[in-house]
Homo-oligomer: A and B are copies of this chain.
Amino acid sequence: MDELQAVQWHNGKVRLLDQTKLPQELVLLEISDYHGVVKSINSLAVRGAPAIGVAAAFGVVLAVCNADEVDRAGFITRANQAIDALKQTRPTAKNLFWALEKMRNAMSKNLNKPLREVKNAMLRQAQDILNDDIARCKKIGEHGAGLIPFRCTVLTHCNAGALATGGFGTALGIVRAAIEQGKKIKVFADETRPLLQGARLTTFELMEDDIDVTLITDSMAAYVIKKGLVQVVVVGADRIARNGDVANKIGTYGLAILAKEHKIPFVVAAPLSTFDPDTESGDDIRIEERDADEVRRIGDVLIAPEDVQVFNPAFDVTPNELISALVSERGVVRFPNEEKLKDWLK
């Protein structure tokens, strides 16, 4: 399902699947300058922490690659401008900053070489970020599948799938890997208001893969869990603090409380690029607030009084004590805390 890849490098351009249009329209955006990548991240045409990192990396490549030959100082300025602009897009996902740092290093390390080679090194770095992300997701899937009973239903929130990553997915990577191992897995997908990534993206990509998925509104999760219809909750992450607190799509924290109340495991899946050892705890994670119209409207349709006050945080923080297991490409940490993560991230 190549056309369902969130981010690709194609003929010197960044090709993004416009996720604001899914599942009704399959639109590929061909982007030839980094401003277009900035815009696409802001508008959520590309979203999901790992995919944002990949897109941003290619954005930096665009800034230097499609430029005419310039002097070295101009080249560096151009790259730094792109990095700075891309950093301003979204504050919460760690992977964005991680990927941009990788790109800056790829440039710095090669600055003694001809500019053409610096460009090539930067392009290779971005391609590595993409390819590594897919490989990491597969590893996450393998490790995480061990936590999933042979026959069970997984509840997930937002989209931590192929569309949120280089491919395969983190939370949905675990689902895919469990199914590849022969397990009988069904999925409940929270629709994930305001922007409906669950309704639009998770259902879509699971149905493409013939995985049994049932859509519910976010408010139905408690009832579904109480009825015993769900055995495990699996979600992705946008940033994981040093102590294991997890920032993820708004609604995740509430789900974690429901999982605790009903004594089912709450599993978080993310590549190591999501882990942020510089952030002490969830209290230190900046939570993006987005435009009120995302709540007042659905698409173009007004669903509330036009001038109603709105609060629209895009993420929340789940404290480590609510997390049964963190899964990365390195394996599984059960009941994460600062000490365990310190050893594990060494």
Contact = CB atoms under 8 A, between A and B. Distances in A.
A191 interface: yes
B218 A218 contact: yes
Given A301-B299, A303-B200, A310 B257 contact: no
A222 B193 contact: no
Interface of A: 23-24, 157, 188, 190-194, 196, 199-200, 203-204, 207, 212-224, 226, 250-251, 253-254, 257-258, 261, 295-296, 298-299, 301-305, 308-313, 316
A244 to B, nearest CB: 17
A121 to B, nearest CB: 42
B250 A220 contact: yes
Each complex incorporates copies of this chain amounting to 2
Contact of A261 (B199, B213, B215, B261): B261
23 contacts: A24-B302, A188-B311, A191-B304, A196-B303, A196-B304, A199-B308, A200-B304, A204-B304, A204-B305, A214-B310, A216-B311, A216-B312, A217-B295, A217-B312, A219-B219, A220-B311, A222-B251, A222-B253, A222-B257, A223-B313, A254-B254, A257-B261, A298-B301
A226 B216 CA distance: 24
Contacts of A191: 193, 295, 303-304
B213 A250 contact: no
B310 A219 contact: no
A149 B110 CA distance: 64
Given A190-B219, A203-B308, A217-B295, 8 more contacts: A193-B193, A194-B217, A196-B303, A200-B304, A213-B309, A220-B316, A226-B253, A298-B303
- What is the predominant secondary structure among interface residues of chain A facing chain B? mixed
Contact of A257 (B157, B204, B258): B258
Contacts of A258: 254, 257
Contacts of A316: 220, 222-223, 226
A304 B215 contact: yes
Given A213-B309, A301-B301, A303-B200, A219 B207 contact: no
